[in-house]
Amino acid sequence: MPTRLAPRTTNPTAILAVLLLAVLTFTMSQGLIGPVLPTLRQDVDTTPTMITWVMTAFLLSASVFTPIAGRLGDRYGKDRAVIASLIALAVGSGVCAVATDVEVMILGRIIQGICGAVLPLTYGVLRDAFSPRQLPGAVSLAAAVGGVGGGVGVVLAGPLSVAFGVRSLFWIPALLAAATAALAGVVVPRSPARDSRPVSWLTTALLAAWLIALLVPLTQASRWGWSSPAVITPLVAATALACAWVAAESRSARPLVDMRMMRIPAVWTTNLVSLLFGFGLFAVTAFLPTFVQTPTAAGYGFGAGVTQAGLMLLPMSVTTLLAGLASTQLTRYLGSRTTLMGACTLYVAACVLLAFGHEHRWQIYLAVTLLGVALGAGFSTMSNVIVATVRPDQTSVANGITANFATIGGSIGIALMAAVVSAQQAADGTSAEAGYTYGFAMLAVAGLAAFAVTTAMPRRPQAANAPQAQHAAIGA
């Protein structure tokens, strides 16, 4: 067993507080930009197609770097990786804030995305620093804050851009990230290098290649066309590259992601549920603001402004946090599988309500409240399942992969939602109400699929230090 190093501080509250601030800063930076893309397009004088790459570049970068930085954290020390991620966020945000053209802004967003690993790295640090009794509550709180951050960004985007200008949406994360990195250097425990094996750069390159080949066409399919060679060709390539990656990881003596770990029932089912939850989270966050901003003259929508649309999503952020905090007790009494089944049920109910009961504002508020409870309880429970199941040296990379499944699911959800909504056009060329009805109903089907997957999960995850879990983890 590696020697456990003493933390820089013995105050677990301080450690948790700094890590939560790091998670909130990154996830908030995700939500801040989406609502102001039209303003940014005018600010840098670019085309509608190019400005979408400000979002796409961030998504791709976070997807690629999340498992890589998680593995580097397990290899070289999670405290160093957390600090490096926050510095990347600060630098990338600063680049975006001073960018005079869209290409430089896209570069800044790529640098920002390196911080995508901060949440799985946080789980790894918490596992090192907290006792087994304290750990589930700390992990649940971190997961809940991770779920809240994007919603907080959406809510704050309008008021901040009006009060301080649109570039403040980059300056504020830059300053927060820099301050948090400094605090982390003082507070976050020094992490032992749990895995002395060097990183396999071949499998790292293959992972990056298939993720990019998958996510680029998914994010651009609504513009390029699903039958376009520009979409079909990279998707075929992504399949081939993913197969090559799995084969290389399976044979590697120093894998980036241990394929034996991925076959543990609690791990693969959690990852699949994460994908399906990401499907709904990203799609609702992307399309519900557009729905509520639609003028009432269209026969639906509420004619809300950017700020008002963000506020209509506020209940989801609040209930995500509260449900995440409550998930530890729910799991303790009900078990992780039952808790996730309940979360899936609320997920379905919320999407059904959005699809078929969206005539009044209170219906929107109720739907996003239910969805927030589902996402808060769901993601917090999934994080604890992974932490409790995998070996300590796999904590960060395993949670990074789970986060990536949510991102991949979100990319698929947004792409399919865009296809469904755009397929239903009103006489004036705008999106018809039926497009949103069918789209939200599709998200409900994803929730039903997540419920079905949870039936294959173990009732309670086997502790990673128990003989059975160790046996499963090493593929014996």
pLDDT in tens, 172-208: 999 999 999 999 999 987 876 566 667 778 888 898 8
Hey, how many other C-beta atoms are within 10 angstroms of the C-beta on 91? 18
Q: What is the pLDDT of residue 342?
A: 95
Which residues, 6+ apart, have CB-to-CB distance to 246 below 8 Å? Answer: 259
Residues near 240 by beta carbon (within 8 Å), at least 6 away in sequence: none
Of 143, 92, 151, the residue nearest 120 (C-alpha): 143
Res. 112: pLDDT tops 80 = yes
More confident residue, 366 or 288: 366
7: confidence class by pLDDT, cuts 50, 70, 90? very low
Confidence tier at 269 by pLDDT (50, 70, 90): very high
Calpha distance 320→370 (Å, rounded): 9
The predicted structure's pLDDT at residue 467: 38
Question: Looking at residue 438, what is its pLDDT?
Answer: 93
Average pLDDT over residues 429-446: 88
Backbone angles phi, psi at 185, to 5 degrees: -65, -25
Distance (Å, rounded) from C-alpha 68 to C-alpha 204? 7
Tell which wins on pLDDT, 144 or 463. Answer: 144
How does residue 475 score in pLDDT terms, banded at 50, 70 and 90? Answer: very low
For residue 302, pLDDT beyond 80? yes
Q: What is the pLDDT of residues 202-232, one digit of tens each?
A: 888 898 899 899 988 888 887 888 889 999 9
Q: Are 238 and 216 in contact (CB under 8 A)?
A: no
Helix axes 135-164, 168-187, angle to 10 degrees: 150
Q: Which residues 6+ apart lie within 8 Å of 198 measured at CB? A: 75, 254
10 Å CB burial of residue 338 (0-12, 13-18, 19+) is middle
Distances, alpha carbon 95 to alpha carbons 91, 173, 178, in Å:
6, 12, 14
pLDDT of residue 179: 96
CA distances from 389 to 107, 196, 396, 397 (A): 37, 21, 12, 13
Determine whether 448 is exposed, middle or buried from the number of CB atoms within 10 Å of its CB (0-12, 13-18, 19+): middle
Contact 33, 55 (CB under 8 A): yes
Q: The pTM is what?
A: 0.81
The residue ranking higher by pLDDT, 459 or 462, is 459
In percent, the amount of the chain with pLDDT more than 70 equals 92
What is the number of alpha carbons within 13 Å of residue 391 lying toward its C-beta?
Answer: 19
- Say if residue 353's pLDDT is above 90: yes
